[in-house]
Amino acid sequence: MLPRKIIIDTDPGQDDAVAILLALASPDDLEVLGITAVAGNVPLELTARNARMVCELAGRTDIAVYAGCDRPLGRDLVTAEHVHGKTGLDGPDLPPPAMPLQKAHAVDFIIDTLRSEPEGTVTLCPLGPLTNIAMAFEKAPDIVPRVAEIVLMGGAYFEVGNITPAAEFNIYVDPQAARIVFKSGAPLVVMPLDVTHKALVTAPRNEAFRALGTPVGVAVAQMTDFFERFDKEKYGSVGAPLHDPCVTAYLIRPDLFTGRHVNVEIETQSDLTMGMTVADWWGVSGRAPNAMFMGDIDATGFFTLLTERLARL
Ligand code: BDR
Ligand code: CA
């Protein structure tokens, strides 16, 4: 089978970086048409820089990286340096990128790619706030039915919120954008905190990355070393949650995940619950399902896949 064509839309972020590395390590499964950066964990200038540093770490300077929206559609940007550090990619000591940023805007790249590739062949993989994707859908509604699938990290139901008591970070940063995407009609697969909080880098899993002995293996171990301190303190968990790699792992091994096809609506009005993903897990609303909302992961299988693939870089 031909590799699946994907666009990774991202705000790196250590866990975004690992998601990108997993995709780049899997060329038989995934063809990365481009990486689009969005403001999220840190401002756009840094996410566009970090995305290129990750490509260089993987030895893939051929990947086109585009900068996109520098702020959410209708509100001020909220960032997460308290989780990811000042650069967004604190942990390893990576050199500044030498590869250029593409001239085109990320939103135009997404539109042009969906128009030029055969209908139903391009999958969007958002790993940050949904601003770029929503902008593209608003600017060019004709591309929506051309999308094969959107597989995204965002939201939470049983885990509720990580940035507010009610909301997960990616959705909270740009709830208007999330609303547009969830209402778009494009097929959606959602990796919420309910799943990603089970993808924890325990000490032996971190050691397995380091034991690869490669620049990639060591950098991933250093990233998760840095990234875990926040969640350990907050949740008392055993290690860093690898949120975003659940997206790229799903594209390679969907059998590692289980969930339900349910209705998911985004709260955009209430101050108290702004950005909440109201998932109708129990089917009580009568609203039509619009998303495959994942609930569980085979974490052992996930880390086996990840470590084995990272070893290829
Ligand atoms: C999401 O927010 C970011 O901090 C992570 O990169 C992930 O995409 C988890 O809530
Ligand atoms: Ca992210």
Residues with CB under 6 A from ligand 1: 13, 15-16, 41, 80, 83, 127-128, 153, 162, 168-170, 243-244
Collapsed DSSP state (helix, strand, coil) of residue 308: helix
The answer to whether the beta carbons of residues 166 and 273 sit under 8 Å apart is: yes
Summarised one tens digit per residue, pLDDT across range 213-267 is 999 999 999 999 988 777 777 777 778 899 999 999 999 999 999 999 999 999 9
The answer to whether the beta carbons of residues 4 and 30 sit under 8 Å apart is: yes
Q: Kindly report the protein residue whose alpha carbon is nearest to atom 10 of ligand 1.
A: 169
Cα(51)–Cα(18) distance, rounded to whole angstroms? 11
Which structural domains are found in the chain, ordered by start?
4-310 (3.90.245.10)
Would you place residue 161 in the very low, low, confident or very high pLDDT band (cuts 50, 70, 90)? very high
Summarised one tens digit per residue, pLDDT across range 53-102 is 999 999 999 999 999 999 999 999 999 999 899 999 999 999 999 999 99
Nearest Cα neighbor of 266 from 291, 299, 298, 238 is 291
The answer to whether the beta carbons of residues 77 and 39 sit under 8 Å apart is: yes
DSSP single-letter state for residue 203: H
